[in-house]
Chain A
């Protein structure tokens, strides 16, 4: 379960920084250095407005950062790589309202490489994975928020990326749905064997899901800590959250996030620190 240093790194971020130019110049990301090993589930927590979305846009190649490099599988990211998919924070505006659920998924599948039968299979499989097989012919606006989010996830799954980036995907769903979606992500990871980078501002969620949690500071963001999560697998919504390890880790992260508003720690070295500074 634990991430060992012998695993190869799929995504490597070196000296990443971003400044929004303009009338009000804003340094969103200070300096980020980290690596995501292949097959890992890494979650990133940070306060609202600390530059998490900005970071994901840089990692996915939607935007080029002001400083630093992003390597995916050893190659620099210029433009969006084929092997990468991103689930946006604002899922409702990223689904196409003029297409049905199945249509939204079909739309992202490359027409040339896949036969009609293969496309159908992919659609069915990914809808089944998120438990939405019955809603295939509905339109996104006929679904609840949680269902829409699941469609966005299914669409990304059908695309079969090697790495999946997710931007606060469960921020606007109720607690019950959220728990279901969290377990869905764990199941999906198992089923499709993807590397997942999961951004959230929910500390519990970050610990519950991940092998490793990166804690970001306020803007301009740096990495406050990179913590390994050694919780038994499979995780359980009730059981896991009761474990001493879980409680201690979440308190530690909560303290860090609270404390960095008063003092600014220097960025630790990549991936090997188990505690702040």
Chain B
């Protein structure tokens, strides 16, 4: 579920546009609500132990994570033991990947020779599905958090890296020439021209990476020491606690959606000019 077309903080807000946003909002949540209703009815008719009605899943969801005392904002202890470790390792691995991906991407994108050299390697390594590498990460880093964070970072660095390379390469030559005419030093060229030009592509890579990070996080938690949302889901499935399993899945959906929306918000702030420049104004 992407949020590319929502206009967070557009340039010139007009009432007409607010109406449109309201309609879009209603359409999006309406569809989700309809899906819930269909699920509820179908589950009640089927009456299968594996597919409980959504109302019972949500009830269990609240019980598991949102029924704590008021002084912890109603969050339960389960949040601290299940969700926080998962989120930390996911965002940790993703952040490492973003920083490394952008730095390496800029270096590779700026140099033709380096690019010709390492690009085949990148494309080869990237083609390996990360779960297949779990055994190797096991051997190298054990079954704990380091293994998981590294696996996530490894899996999600590629979209950022490749998009950064692409973004850096597609910097307008006339912008670089303008920099030369006005005597920009290297730092100014990098932060003032190269990085802003590549920002839209870098953000696109970051978004893909974020969704992959969620997937790899779950996979990494299904092996090794039981810890995090992934192990909650797997453990529940093994002991036939279907409501717990579905709650975990629902939680993943919500997390993915919220994180993506947050990133989209930051993106639209930073690259506001990009959408405007492409669409023009009228």
Contact = CB atoms under 8 A, between A and B. Distances in A.
Contacts of B32: none
A142 interface: yes
A99 B192 CA distance: 10
Nearest to A79: B180
B277 interface: yes
A248 B177 CA distance: 39
B183 interface: yes
Contacts of A79: 180
B274 A86 contact: no
A178 to B, nearest CB: 22
A97 B277 contact: yes
A88 B178 contact: yes
Contact of A141 (B177, B197, B273): B273
B172 interface: yes
Determine the interface band of chain A, counting residues with CB < 8 A from chain B.
20 to 34
Nearest to A92: B174
Contacts, number: 58
A98 B196 contact: yes
A139 B177 contact: no
A80 B178 CA distance: 10
Determine the interface band of chain B, counting residues with CB < 8 A from chain A.
20 to 34
A108 B182 contact: yes
Contact of A107 (B177, B180, B192, B276): B192
Contacts of A204: none
Contacts of B273: 97-99, 139, 141
Interface in A141-179: 141-142, 159
A94 B174 contact: yes
A85 B280 contact: no
B193 interface: yes
Contacts of B280: 141
Contacts of A86: 181
Contact of B277 (A60, A88, A139): A139
Interface in A104-136: 107-108, 110
Query: What DSSP secondary structure best describes chain B's contact surface?
Result: helix
A99 B277 CA distance: 11
Contact of B183 (A82, A90, A93, A139): A82
Interface in B191-210: 192-193, 196-197, 199
A96 interface: yes
A96 B177 contact: no
B181 A142 contact: no
A75 interface: no
Given A94-B174, A97-B274, A98-B273, A141 B181 contact: no
B276 A142 contact: yes
B193 A139 contact: no
Nearest to B172: A93
A247 interface: no
A243 interface: no
Given A97-B273, A142-B281, A60 B181 contact: yes
B175 interface: yes
B274 A94 contact: no
A62 interface: yes
A107 B277 CA distance: 19
Nearest to A85: B181
A93 B176 CA distance: 11
A141 B277 contact: yes
Contact of B181 (A62, A98, A107, A139): A62
A51 to B, nearest CB: 17
29 contacts: A62-B177, A62-B181, A80-B181, A82-B183, A85-B181, A85-B182, A86-B181, A88-B174, A88-B178, A93-B174, A94-B174, A94-B178, A96-B175, A96-B178, A96-B193, A97-B276, A97-B277, A98-B199, A98-B271, A98-B273, A99-B273, A139-B11, A139-B276, A139-B277, A140-B277, A141-B273, A141-B276, A142-B11, A142-B281
Interface of B: 11, 172, 174-175, 177-178, 180-183, 192-193, 196-197, 199, 271, 273-274, 276-277, 280-281
